[in-house]
């Protein structure tokens, strides 16, 4: 018998290896043909570009950017663009693959894509960011478009970034092409409800989990790790629905109140001070210990690899709602399964964002825009149906929710690929 060596720390936190491991396990349980596995495992297209930009002080700098299209089997590839100093091609590949499975889980007609530029937005002016964005757009524009690949905001990008991309693309095409990106400002064809969509989706699936487990929202303590767009909106919406947000964790600290934090007041405090720490109606605590508080729901909403084999055994929450992409490593999954923690995996839990992005794309192509009540109602319906699909699949196949979500997603994409066939 050959014993496989345990993965190194670098292997465990490599997002592409994590995505591949989950895919392989689900494909094996599905009994997927080896040839189909190779096709579905391999990104359809990867583009690396070098972006020369003149900085404000007159210096020329060259930035590296990526765009990966994992799959276009069920429709145009869809996925965000992130600006960060630690962007890697493996990370972008993994995020593109997760988008394929995410779109399939919520059954919307997109495949997965992702993009990124290696830069540090904290040290760049708005003018420099605009020049990087426009040159990056011009370098990838041959592979994007409303019917081919539709970018969206991600880490350190926002509606203004999408406006620059849309404008650059439209200028080259000599016509207004609002559907080339989603997450735009409302004035340029954005959708109502888009900003809160990912957080709303997290709340909706958490409510479904509580009902399944027989827990009342009023008896539910939530720890939110990450207080950006996803975490803050999830916390706000959960608080309005009766949840107690007992702790919020950020990169610079954590704030705790056993009776529940006033989320709106905490957001105001951060806007005024630049930090969640020092909040009058809460007490500061060690951010590295806060994830292990007694609570009913842990909502990691920041970045990848927060829950690993080194700390998963310390988590006390019986429910995890993954607001971030890839917050749990494959090795940590094994520990969480042993602890019988009810995990709502990222490709289900945070799919509210891409779902409303789909709504935005539809509205742009129709030239007819919906009110927020309609957007939220249709989002709620899709998230509830998708939750039921995943947990139903888990019950039927006697697997955990993550495996069920992957199996369901892969099964749908494989069925579409088999029906289309391979062009040769």
Q: Is residue 98 part of a domain?
A: yes
> Which residue range is the domain that position 258 belongs to?
197-349
* pLDDT average, residue stretch 228-253: 96
Instruction: List, for residues 180-217, the tens digit of each pLDDT value.
Output: 999 999 999 999 999 999 999 999 999 999 999 999 99
Greatest CA span in the chain, whole angstroms? Answer: 66
Q: Is residue 236 part of a domain?
A: yes
Instruction: List, for residues 285-332, the tens digit of each pLDDT value.
Output: 999 999 999 999 999 999 889 999 999 999 999 999 999 999 999 999
Residue 136 — φ and ψ, nearest 5°? -60, -45
Predicted local distance difference test score (pLDDT) of residue 3: 37
Give me the CATH number covering residue 308. Answer: 3.40.50.720
Q: Is residue 411 part of a domain?
A: no
Q: Is residue 223 part of a domain?
A: yes
303 plus 165 within the same structural domain: no
Closest CA to 300 of 355, 345, 362: 345
Instruction: List, for residues 264-294, the tens digit of each pLDDT value.
Output: 999 999 999 999 999 999 999 999 999 999 9
Q: Is residue 107 part of a domain?
A: yes
Predicted local distance difference test score (pLDDT) of residue 9: 64
Q: How many alpha carbons lie under 13 Å from residue 195 in its C-beta half-sphere?
A: 13
Instruction: List, for residues 394-411, the tens digit of each pLDDT value.
Output: 999 999 999 999 999 999
74 plus 123 within the same structural domain: yes
From 6-10, 46-50, 146-150, the region with the lowest mean pLDDT: 6-10
Cβ-contact 161, 311 below 8 angstroms: no
207 plus 152 within the same structural domain: no
Residue 227, pLDDT > 80, answer: yes
Residue 245, pLDDT > 60, answer: yes
Q: Is residue 414 part of a domain?
A: no
Taking the complete model, does pTM exceed 0.85, yes or no? yes
171 plus 211 within the same structural domain: no
Instruction: State the DSSP string of 98-159.
Output: HHHHHHHHTT-S-EEEEEEEE--GGGS-HHHHHHHHHHHHHHHTTT-BTTTEEEEE-TT--H
Domain C-terminal end among 311, 333, 349: 349
232 plus 288 within the same structural domain: yes
For 230, the 3-state DSSP assignment is helix
For 309, the 3-state DSSP assignment is coil
Structure token digits, residue 400: 């955990």
Give me the CATH number covering residue 65. Answer: 3.40.50.10860
Distance CA 122, CA 194 (A): 25
Q: Is residue 100 part of a domain?
A: yes
> In angstroms, what CA-CA distances link 275 with 82, 196, 265?
23, 21, 12
* pLDDT average, residue stretch 48-52: 98
Q: Is residue 243 part of a domain?
A: yes
Residue 7, pLDDT > 70, answer: no
* pLDDT average, residue stretch 80-90: 96
227 plus 167 within the same structural domain: no
Domain C-terminal end among 142, 176, 210: 176
What percent of the chain is predicted at pLDDT more than 70? 98
**pLDDT interval class at 248 (50, 70, 90):** very high
304 plus 212 within the same structural domain: yes
164 plus 231 within the same structural domain: no
262 plus 338 within the same structural domain: yes
Residue 6, pLDDT > 70, answer: no
156 plus 80 within the same structural domain: yes
Domain C-terminal end among 349, 370, 405: 349
**pLDDT interval class at 19 (50, 70, 90):** confident
Which residues are known to be catalytic? 114
Instruction: State the DSSP string of 66-80.
Output: EEEE---SSSSEEEE
Q: What's the total number of domains in the chain?
A: 2
131 plus 248 within the same structural domain: no
Instruction: List, for residues 359-389, the tens digit of each pLDDT value.
Output: 999 999 999 999 999 999 999 999 999 999 9
283 plus 332 within the same structural domain: yes
**End-to-end Cα distance, the chain:** 42
Predicted local distance difference test score (pLDDT) of residue 128: 98
């Amino acid at each position: 018998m050959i014993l496989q060596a345990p993965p190194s720390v670098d292997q465990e936190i490599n997002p592409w290896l994590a995505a591949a491991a989950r895919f392989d396990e689900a494909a094996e349980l599905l009994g997927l043909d080896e040839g189909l596995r190779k096709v579905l495992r391999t990104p359809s297209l990867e583009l690396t570009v070098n972006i020369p930009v003149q900085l404000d002080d007159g210096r020329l700098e060259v930035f590296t950017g990526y765009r990966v299209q994992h799959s276009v089997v069920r429709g145009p590839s869809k996925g965000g663009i992130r600006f960060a100093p630690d962007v890697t091609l493996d990370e972008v590949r993994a995020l593109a693959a997760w988008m394929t499975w995410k779109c399939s889980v919520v059954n919307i007609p997109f495949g997965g894509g992702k993009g990124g530029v290696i830069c540090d937005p904290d040290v760049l002016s708005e003018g420099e960011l605009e020049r990087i964005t426009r040159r990056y757009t011009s370098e990838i524009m041959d592979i994007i478009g409303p019917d081919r690949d539709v970018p969206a905001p991600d880490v350190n990008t926002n509606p203004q970034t999408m406006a620059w991309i849309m404008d650059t693309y439209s200028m080259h095409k000599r016509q207004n092409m609002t559907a080339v990106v989603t997450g735009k400002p409302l004035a340029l064809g954005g959708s109502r409800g888009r900003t809160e969509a990912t957080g709303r989706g997290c709340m909706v699936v958490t409510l479904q989990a509580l009902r399944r487990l027989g827990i009342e929202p009023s008896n539910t303590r939530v720890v939110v790790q990450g207080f950006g767009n996803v975490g803050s909106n999830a916390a706000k919406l959960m608080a309005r629905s009766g949840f107690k947000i007992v702790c919020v964790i950020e990169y610079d600290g954590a704030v705790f109140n056993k009776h529940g934090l006033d989320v709106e007041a905490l957001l105001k405090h951060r806007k005024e001070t630049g930090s969640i720490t020092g909040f009058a109606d809460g007490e500061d605590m060690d951010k590295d210990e806060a994830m292990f508080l007694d609570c009913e729901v842990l909502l990691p909403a920041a970045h990848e690899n927060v829950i690993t084999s080194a700390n998963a055994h310390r988590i006390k929450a019986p429910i995890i709602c993954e607001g971030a992409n890839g917050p749990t490593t494959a090795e940590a999954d094994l520990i969480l399964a042993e602890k019988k923690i009810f995990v709502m995996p990222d490709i289900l839990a945070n799919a509210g964002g891409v779902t409303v992005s789909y709504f935005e794309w539809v509205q742009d192509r129709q030239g007819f825009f919906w009110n927020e009540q309609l957007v939220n109602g249709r989002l709620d319906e899709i998230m509830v149906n998708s939750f039921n699909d995943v947990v139903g699949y888990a019950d039927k196949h006697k697997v955990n929710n993550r495996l069920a979500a992957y199996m369901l997603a892969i099964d749908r994409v494989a069925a579409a690929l088999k029906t289309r066939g391979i062009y040769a």
